[in-house]
A and B are shown apart, each in its own frame.
Chain A
């Protein structure tokens, strides 16, 4: 009865299995029964908690969870079929169907997860809902975990999830993975949502909650899942992978032990995660094979230059500026232009950069804290200290993140 193994299941196995099995059962039994599917998967994980310490972890834990969830779901459908016609039809179609063998099952689980990723990331669904669907269904997060990670109340998450589920059912998600031109658009949206998810997790916060770091790694895991499907175009996917790896490498070093935000210049580069940087580089190399210049690719390139600079002083601002110039051609956004100004200041001095910044200024930019923060840094370098102080304070009042507010206020207070 009691079996002992040397290895347990891999980290986050339950969380990831939740998404895979939910996607599989929804494809098989229909989106109408999403709630029953969720209950069944939850129940099968519960069973595993009760049983596995006694029985040992099964040979194929994934197959075990799938089988047990499917059995529970069929039981539930049987129970409701008297009232629910749809349940009856679905049962008669699937009742005699056995689960495929383990190898085939793994392929099916993989395909279904991808399909579910595309379903959750439909442009018709609002961004907020897309993110919640991804976290709930694909990543197996609880409402509480989502609330913690996104700085929302649990109640708000629960409500948003209910609404987003309705939206998901409305858009009908038993579709195949899109193809042709449609595929490119949908893939673009999928990657954008994944990157938003990553950025949510990457936002610096007090206490550096573990769950926020996990958000970043979930974004990376989902992207690597897209990459597993070799039939999909991979240039953007590899570029985004590279970008997220480079950024994640600095996760620990962005905040000092006293809980103060550190700039690139102040960070201890010895703390940057070399393994993540190396992985990012491999993805960047793969992305380069496509011979395309795209936004994620250029952004990853800029991040790579920072990662590989020995220290802040030896950063190649010339190359960074060149990449920003290309980036602006692809996406003439003010935010990118703003970041470009920083590189310009390092390369050509604060005067040139300041002139450029004045050129950019408009009403919308003035509501953005980063604009004032960069302006303050430039004033500071130009020894216009009163204006610098005012700009830091303005930036602090607009920042939506306490760590950034603290940092900017400190900057202001350090000035005479």
Chain B
């Protein structure tokens, strides 16, 4: 069993336009998906991230708001899951509700230490 990192980008565009009802349904689908991962023992950990952040470069001589110009490039959270291989990890990620609002999942294998 290997571990994979899901990096979630975007998926929250146009939230100000979404109705509370849509938001609740979206939240419940996320929760159901993650509960499913957890109950199958595939969920290792993860956390959502604040929207704002800084990118520090050249020992702090350059501090910018980030390389991202658009909301859809912002990493909104990460998750670590157990899967047999990359294909398995990709398969698992297909159930994620992030795609409902144009988000993406980057799937990366963690190098075991």
Q: Are A and B physically bound partners?
A: yes
Partner of A15, one of B20, B27, B45: B20
The answer for the CA separation of A94 and B19 in the assembled complex, in Å, is 29
The answer for the CA separation of A39 and B45 in the assembled complex, in Å, is 31
Query: B18-53 CB contact bits vs A (8 Å, 1 = yes)?
Result: 111111101110110111001100010111100000
Which residue of A is nearest B47, CB measured?
A54
Overall SS of chain A's interface? helix
Q: Does B10 contact A (CB under 8 A)?
A: no
Determine how close the nearest CB of chain B comes to the CB of A58; give it in whole angstroms: 13
Q: Contact between A45 and B31 (Cβ–Cβ < 8 Å)?
A: no
Q: Does B17 contact A (CB under 8 A)?
A: yes
Q: Contact between A141 and B19 (Cβ–Cβ < 8 Å)?
A: yes
**Given A4-B35, A4-B38, A48-B27, A54–B20 Cβ distance below 8 Å?**
no
Q: Contact between B19 and A52 (Cβ–Cβ < 8 Å)?
A: no
Q: Contact between A142 and B34 (Cβ–Cβ < 8 Å)?
A: no
Q: Does B109 contact A (CB under 8 A)?
A: no
Which residue of A is nearest B31, CB measured?
A53
- Residues of chain A within 8 A (CB-CB) of B35 are 4
Determine how close the nearest CB of chain A comes to the CB of B28; give it in whole angstroms: 6
Partner of A53, one of B12, B21, B22, B30: B30
Interchain pairs with CB closer than 8 A, number: 82
Q: Does B16 contact A (CB under 8 A)?
A: yes
Q: Does A51 contact B (CB under 8 A)?
A: yes
- Residues of chain B within 8 A (CB-CB) of A53 are 27, 30-31, 33-34
Q: Contact between B38 and A54 (Cβ–Cβ < 8 Å)?
A: no
Partner of B24, one of A4, A13, A42, A54: A13
**Given A1-B47, A50-B48, A45–B76 Cβ distance below 8 Å?**
no
Query: A38-68 CB contact bits vs B (8 Å, 1 = yes)?
Result: 0100100110111111100100000000000
Q: Does A202 contact B (CB under 8 A)?
A: no
Q: Does B95 contact A (CB under 8 A)?
A: no
Q: Does A295 contact B (CB under 8 A)?
A: no
Which residue of A is nearest B25, CB measured?
A14
Q: Contact between A142 and B24 (Cβ–Cβ < 8 Å)?
A: no
The answer for the CA separation of A144 and B17 in the assembled complex, in Å, is 9
Q: Contact between A49 and B19 (Cβ–Cβ < 8 Å)?
A: no
Q: Does A17 contact B (CB under 8 A)?
A: yes
Q: Does A156 contact B (CB under 8 A)?
A: no
**Which 7 pairs across A and B sit closest by C-beta, in order of nearness?**
A142-B19, A14-B20, A53-B30, A14-B24, A49-B27, A140-B20, A53-B31
CB<8 Å pairs between A and B, sample of 20: A2-B45, A4-B35, A4-B38, A9-B28, A12-B21, A14-B20, A15-B24, A18-B20, A49-B27, A50-B12, A50-B48, A50-B76, A50-B77, A51-B48, A52-B30, A53-B31, A54-B48, A140-B19, A140-B20, A144-B17
A contact residues vs B (CB 8 Å cutoff): 1-2, 4, 8-9, 12-15, 17-18, 39, 42, 45-46, 48-54, 57, 140-142, 144-145
16 further contact pairs, Cβ within 8 A, besides A46-B23, A48-B27, A49-B27? A2-B38, A2-B46, A4-B35, A12-B24, A15-B19, A15-B20, A17-B20, A18-B20, A49-B23, A49-B24, A50-B48, A50-B77, A52-B27, A53-B31, A142-B19, A142-B20
